[in-house]
Structure 1
Amino acid sequence: MKKFQILALLFLVSIVNAQKVQSPSKSLTVNFGLDNEGKPNYSVTLKDKKVVNQSFLGLKLKDGTDFTKGFTVENSNTSTFDEVWKPVLGEQSSIRNNYNEFVINLIQKKSEKRLTIVFRVYDEGVAFRYEFPKQKDLNYFIVKEEKTEFNLAGNHKTFWIPGDFDSQEYVYNETLLSEIDNEKLDLNNGIGVKSIPGKYAVQSPLMMKSSDGLYINIFEAATVNYPVMHLELNPKTFGLTSILAPNAIGDKAYLQTPCVTPWRTIMVSDDARTIVSSKMTLNLNEPSKIEDTSWIKPMKYVGVWWEMHVGKSTWDYAGSQNAQNTETRELIASGKHGATTENTKRYIDFAAKHGFDGVLVEGWNVGWEDWFGNWKEDVFDFVTPYPDFDLKAVNDYAKSKGVKMIMHHETSGSVANYERHLDRAMNLMKQYGYPAVKSGYVGKIIPRGEFHDGQTMVNHFNFVAKRMADNKLMVNSHESTRPTGYHRTYPNYIAAEAARGNEFNAWSNGNPPMHETILPFTRLLGGPMDYTPGIFEIKMSAYDKTKKEQVHTTLAKQLALYVTMYSPLQMAADLPENYEKYPDAFQFIKDVAADWQDSKYLEAEPGDYLTVARKDKKSERWFLGAITDENARTSEIKLDFLSPNKKYKAVIYQDGKTADWEKNPINYEIKTMTVTSKSKLKLVLAKGGGTAISFEPIN
């Protein structure tokens, strides 16, 4: 009888130790188990195709605790979750969150230490995280390293950038997994600070395509009180292991039970549109912690910004020589300062005339003369304007025109300094009615020894979002960690940069034509991006005949980016005078919405093309954006997303017959036609080109 009980118990343990959980449609399967050393592991299958081979899980702590082996399953349970929730701002007005959950409570018999692993399986992907319950011998602890594995089933085509703890502002590489090697890259690409931990380190989100047609994306969600996850590749086995940015003394994360890590995510589908339209990252974040969200609104803006990048003006007041009056120590104006009262009023007039919500002004405050590259601590105080910028006069003028001013806080990477001044900076914003701030983190971080992607900085970016929310202010961060859906929890975190933006086209080797076809499959999975589209004067030789730099798109593609690159904060980034040259094309930027009722991804292939249609949240108007890479493209799309039994006026902004991103980028044409939901449209995109369409119901 006793022997029978032992055999029965072993049989029960073997069932618990090798458990399967499937997605709601049963197409995606996760197998979890413990090997004979008590190592937790998992594998992932889509239908009959292996996505992730057996991969091990766990962490190691600084005190010697090894949470990678020696476990038995204490208990486990499964459940199903299905809800529909409404984002404050977004690509659609409602989002379904439907998954099957598997919770495994593990225990190490010798130490009686416990670890919980939670899996959530969606139809488009798998998410899992580590949870540390409150327990007797584990309270405050330090993570030494995380040992999460993603052992891929093949040598996939991969869209990747180096795993840099300080920057995501890289051009994407398109190679096989086995060909990833940071040492083969030309890193002379306009990035000022680089911190790459190894030749095989890559960043997530990592987008891949298998030889048998699977689209696979490895990323994370809800990165809170923990470093950003990068990945270390084994080019021979195609295995990836998580790596975390350390702090100044080499520790990865300081935690206290009960606590959780961010979700590790694996999206997979045989349709690229499923990946690019997924809301899994958002769904894995906590609901909004802001009760009254009525003050969080989409914005379209112009600003004193691009003119600095093209060399027309400067951020600093006194010039690179930091000229001073030797007697009074006052700065002497260089004559090229962009953020003057007079110049700002010109942008305000332009915004008011064309119906834009706001005006951004960079370089308005003292401190820009000599900080870059010097790792200085006390550079900006965020409240003192330069002598030629009358803060009150500018804001009074904007108010009289019905335009909001957008604040700019460049921190110079001195986070300690910014946090010291943050409350005074926010008080100034509230005093003058600024609804939003664009923050910047150019340069090495202070406290010295910290990285942009470390736990300290993740906490800082989230802290700023919380403090801004307390003061009913919106924030748009640049040079920050890339978002992982935290804008669901704090929807005032309206946008971020955190990737290689449009400005690199003005003064570096730029962004190749495929760049914007990859970002929606990578960076934008975590949240809206302030990419600053809308550049009409494509070639920089227009400002200086010796310059060879240019934007690597056609003008029509710049219009299409307002639809394909989602953000509720959209900038018409070019100079007012350049828009005045092409008022017919500028009309699309004026018309296009920034907050959406619905979005339909009609065509998608990472690195090649993307076509998206979106419905304005406040009207029956639809907008479509189609973009391509360096190759010309023709396609036919159905307009069945339009409401049936209605006629629409379609205004089509497309590449001209001789358009080419390099040879003839400003060649475009506009045509108007009447369409219905039964219509089909032929799209003809030039090399590096695009098409933008507005659909307005005909009453």
Structure 2
Amino acid sequence: MKKLLITFLLFASFVANAQATREVSSPNGAIRLVAQLGDQLRYSVYFNNEIIVSPSEIDMVLTDGRKLSDGLARPQFTERNVSETIISPVPEKRIRIPDRYKELKITLRNAFTVIFRVYDDGVAYRIATSLPGEITVRSETAAFRFPANHPVYFPEVVPPTNMDIYHTGFEEPYTIRPLENISSKNLFFSPVLVAPKEAPKIGITESDLEDYPGMFLTGNAEKALFGNFAPYPAEETETKELYSTRYVSKRANFLAKTKGTRAFPWRVLIIAAQDKDLPANDLVYRLASPSRVADVSWVKPGKATDEWIITSNIFNVPFKSGINTATYKYYIDFAKRFGFERIMMDAGWSDNNDLFKINPDIDMDEIVAYAKSKGVGISMWTLALTLDKQLEPALKQFSKWGVDFVMTDFINRDDQKAVQFFYKIAEACARHKIMLMFHGAFKPAGFNRTFPHAVAREAVLGSEYNMWSAKATPEHNVLLAFIRMLGGPLDYEPGMLNNATPKGFHPMPENVMSLTTRTQQLAMFVVYESPIQFFAGNPSQGLKEPGFMELLGSIPTVWDTTRILDARLGDYVVTARKKGSDWFIGALNDSTARELSIPLDFLPAGQFNATICEDGVNADRYPADYRISEAVLTSRDRLTIRLAPGGGYMVRLRR
């Protein structure tokens, strides 16, 4: 009998260990995560006790054969509750960020750990290791399984003609397709959005990406998505062209060589009970590593001009326009006139492949002196490959010129070596107190918290696409607020002043049109987040409309707080942002005319002087038609927002 009892207890212990389960709920109790350790580690997620993420596998395999799932017996569980406030030094959404979550840490006996965090607006997990020396990661399993065949909004990679599929500019329109219609042939980058008709919507992305490849996603014709990662670059080749790049010509059979003791990127699921919960979500920022820049007092956000999209095609001037000294002085005068903090000197100011071979039509000393006399800053575009080769001497020269902001472009990768490049450049720019923006780059993934001077990234199909395509549609523009902004601030470069209907639109370099109304272009400066906002329109046209430009020039680029007043995925979004005692409200619309009624009950007591810019009565046929008016409003009032197809709305509320 004793022998039978001992056998039974041993069997019961084995079953308990083989099927260990732990639950952790969000602070408000609405979201519940269940972690189950059996033959594999799986997690599932419930919202109001309804399953929204089915049991999904987590694993990591090293090249020496060790793997996370081999250590699931007899795990150690620890939990903690956290309630803190993050103060953002460069607040693209809000200064004070509540950071409240419950954490479950599962420590395995084979030196792997998995950490889960459950927030009121999402869940996240990351793998950590505590191994000596260096390790090589062969593969990672990151599964996202769902209980039904939900629609998914995803930006699919278009395979390049002369490189492998992991090379992309991270600039694609959104495809909408049910989960079961997504196969392993479809590769896409995050953020993506799983959009059930009834259940909460779920954004999938990552945070705190360091010394490791970024996460693409793919499917397998199931109700699931799976992480997919660019293998390590075994060989790289440099192209020799106008915009030279370094591409991967041979891949290794592993993902990363890295420190044995470290934490890997967070896998993030943003959970939104309502559509309007998505655009203001900052979970990715909260999960990122804190700032590594001790003093950020030199980081000065603001607006800038950019001449590249219109190819410096200004008019009504007594000189030949182009990439030359006179044109840049004209841009400096324009920036001064309308309160822009700086101008951009985009591609062409130097040889793209040699930053010290300056365009002979440019006198940098004269431009620098003129900008300084006007109190306008100068920022410079660089090619990433060239900046990498000339980094320290280039940054020293920029500092001598008084340049406080640089853009670097055409990385077009997110494998481990590419990710390391971002850290190298950010650390160097911090030493020289120069702000930074990456183009031809993947989403920020919280990088802007770790390096507050790295204010934003492109990673978006924006205004430049109007030069050669009709992809920047009103529907696309609206979706960006719900999906792309989950990954961090973006550089769309709005402000196009030549506006067209779909019938009248033509992709046209030099005289670039937008597929939106003029007012939507204005509202983008409020709805889209970037501490450095570029005005990409034609300044010569802007000078003819000073009232419009003065209103645009008054819009801040960092904010005390943000509220989404109304939103419907892919249809429209209405965003309110506060700076000091002023409020700014911006609305973007898809291609269907609509009227919204928005209460102002979020305002404090008292009167506000409102300057309103709205679609003109003929904006459906002539999209550059707009109307600016003045009103006095209080918290008891409602805004009636009439939106033309592709339309917008913007109001500034001042005491």
Residue 428, structure 1, aligned to residue 430, structure 2: no
- In structure 2, how many angstroms separate the alpha carbons of the residues matched to 1:8 and 1:177? 39
CA apart distance, 1:526: 2.1
TM-score normalised per structure 1? 0.84
After superposition, where does 1:62-211 map in structure 2 within 5 Å? 62-69=63-70, 71-90=72-91, 91-107=93-109, 113-135=110-132, 139-163=133-157, 165=166, 166-180=168-182, 199-211=185-197
Cα distance, 1:357 vs structure 2 = 0.6
| Secondary structure, counterpart of 2:292 in structure 1 | coil
- Superposed counterparts of 1:389-538, under 5 Å: 389-411=362-384, 414=385, 417-441=386-410, 452-538=413-499
SS at match of 1:128: strand
Residue 343 of structure 1: aligned partner: 327
2:640 pairs with 1:682: yes
Q: Does 1:609 align with 2:610?
A: no
More displaced stretch, 139-148 vs 458-467 = 139-148
Distance change (3 Å), C-alpha of 1:141 and 1:545: closer
The yes-or-no answer on 1:659 pairing with 2:645 is: no
After the TM superposition, which residues 245-324 of structure 1 pair with which residues of structure 2 at under 5 Å, given as runs? 245-246=230-231, 247=233, 248-250=250-252, 251-308=254-311
1:428-456 C-alpha deviation (Å, 9 max, x unpaired): 11101111001111xxx6xxxxx611111
Contact 2:467 2:507 (8 Å CA) reproduced: no
Match of 1:6 in 2: 10
With over 3 angstroms needed to count, the CA separation of the structure-2 counterparts of 1:151 and 1:362, relative to structure 1, is same
Shift of 1:547: 9.9
- 1:49-64 to structure 2, matched below 5 A, reads 49-64=50-65
Query: C-alpha deviations, 1:7-64, integer Å up to 9, x for none?
Result: 674576367x1111111111111111122x3x11111111122111111110222233
Matches of 1:545 and 1:261 in 2, distance apart?
44
Counterpart of 1:307, as a letter, is: I
Matched residues in 2 for 1:620 and 1:385: separation?
45
Question: Is 1:339–1:363's contact at 8 Å kept on the other side of the alignment?
Answer: no
**AA at the equivalent of 2:418:** M
Question: Which whole-Å deviations, capped at 9, do the CAs of 1:84-139 have from their partners, x for residues lacking one?
Answer: 121011111100111000000123xxxxx32100000001111001000135xxx4
Q: Which amino acid aligns with 2:370?
A: Y
Q: Which has the higher strand share?
A: 2
Judging changes above 3 Å, is the alpha-carbon distance between structure 1 residues 434 and 309 closer, same or farther for their aligned structure 2 residues?
closer
Letter matched to residue 401 of structure 1: K
In 2, the alpha carbon distance for the partners of 1:73 and 1:520 equals 44
Rounded Cα–Cα distance in structure 2 between residues aligned with 1:542 and 1:269: 35
SS in 1 for 2:108: strand
Tell me: CA distance 1:220–1:542, structure 2 relative to 1, closer, same or farther (3 Å).
closer
Instruction: Give the whole-Å Cα distance in 2 for the aligned partners of 1:491 and 1:218.
Output: 23
Aligned partner (choices 590, 605, 609) of residue 553 of structure 2: 590
- Write out the 4+ residue segments of structure 1 that deviate beyond 6 Å after TM superposition: 309-312, 540-549
| Residues 594-651 of structure 1, C-alpha deviations (whole Å, 9 max, x = no match) | 11111111112221111100011xx31110001111111211111122112x101111
Aligned to 1:622: 583
Instruction: Check conservation: 1:604, 1:611, Cα contact below 8 A.
Output: yes
Q: 1:218: how far off?
A: 0.8
Q: Does 1:224 align with 2:217?
A: no
Pair 1:637-2:606 in alignment:
no
Could you say if the C-alpha distance between residues 338 and 410 of structure 1 is closer, same or farther in structure 2, counting changes exceeding 3 Å? farther
**Aligned partner of 1:160: which letter?**
F
2:35 is aligned to 32
User: Partners in 2 of 1:546 and 1:627 — Cα distance?
Assistant: 25
**Mapped contact 1:82–1:97 kept (Cα < 8 A):** yes
Partner of 1:373: none
CA contact (8 A) 2:179 2:224 kept: no
Task: From the superposition, tell whether residues 472 and 206 of structure 1 become closer, same or farther in structure 2 (CA, over 3 Å).
Answer: same
Q: CA deviation at 1:425?
A: 0.8
Q: Say whether 1:561 aligns with 2:524.
A: yes
Supply the distance in 2 between the matched residues of 1:486 and 1:468 (Cα, whole angstroms): 14
1:336 Cα deviation after fit = 8.0
Structure 1 counterpart SS, 2:427:
helix
C-alpha spacing 1:477/1:547, structure 2 compared with 1 (3 Å): closer
Counterparts of 2:79 and 2:131 in 1: how far apart (Å)?
A: 22
CA contact (8 A) 1:84 1:96 kept: yes
- CA gap 1:64/1:435 in 2 versus in 1, 3 angstroms: same
Given that residues 182 and 220 in structure 2 are in contact (C-alpha distance below 8 angstroms), is that contact kept between their aligned partners in structure 1? Answer: no
Cα contact 1:510–1:549 (8 A) shared by 2? no
CA apart distance, 1:201 = 1.9
Look up the equivalent residue of 2:17 and give its one-letter code: V
State how far apart, in whole Å, the 2-side matches of 1:301 and 1:258 are. 42
Alignment of 1:43 with 2:52, yes or no, is no
Q: CA offsets, 1:320-367, max 9 Å, x none?
A: xxxxxxxxxxxxxxx988220111111111111222110111234443
In the other structure, the counterpart of 1:23 is 26
Q: Distance in 1 between matches of 2:457 and 2:68?
A: 35
Cα distance between partner residues in 2 of 1:542 and 1:31: 51
Deviation (angstroms), 1:254: 1.1
Q: Which runs of 5+ in 1 are unaligned?
A: 108-112, 182-197, 313-334, 369-379, 446-450
Residues 610, 542 of structure 1: alpha-carbon distance in 2 compared, 3 angstrom cutoff:
closer
Whichever residue aligns with residue 280 of structure 2, its letter is: S
1:44, 1:531 → 2: CA distance?
34
Shift of the alpha carbon at 1:72? 1.3
**Is contact 1:244–1:454 with CA below 8 Å preserved after alignment?**
yes
1:669–1:142 Cα change, 3 Å: same
Distance, in Å, in 2 between the alignment partners of 1:336 and 1:358 is: 23
The answer to whether the 8 A contact 1:231-1:240 is kept is yes
Q: Is the 8 A contact 1:221 1:262 kept in 2?
A: yes
- Three-state SS of the structure 2 residue aligned to 1:241 is strand
| RMSD value, Cα | 2.4
Per mean C-alpha deviation after superposition, the further-off stretch among 203-212 and 548-557 is 548-557
Cα deviations across residues 270-318 of structure 1 (Å, max 9, x unaligned)?
2122222221101111111111111011121113323228799xxxxxx
SS in 2 for 1:382: strand
Say if 1:475 and 1:341 are closer, same or farther in 2 by CA, change over 3 A: same
**Counterpart-to-counterpart distance in 1, 2:511 and 2:363:** 37
Matched-pair identity in %: 29
Query: 1:457-512 CA deviation, whole Å, 9 max, x = no partner?
Result: 11101221111111111001110121101111110001110111111012222311
Of the three residues 333, 347, 356, the one matched with 1:363 is: 347
Q: Within 2, Cα distance between the matches of 1:20 and 1:629?
A: 41
The count of aligned residue pairs is 619
8 Å Cα contact 1:159-1:172 kept in structure 2: yes
Conserved? CA contact 2:314–2:540, under 8 Å: no
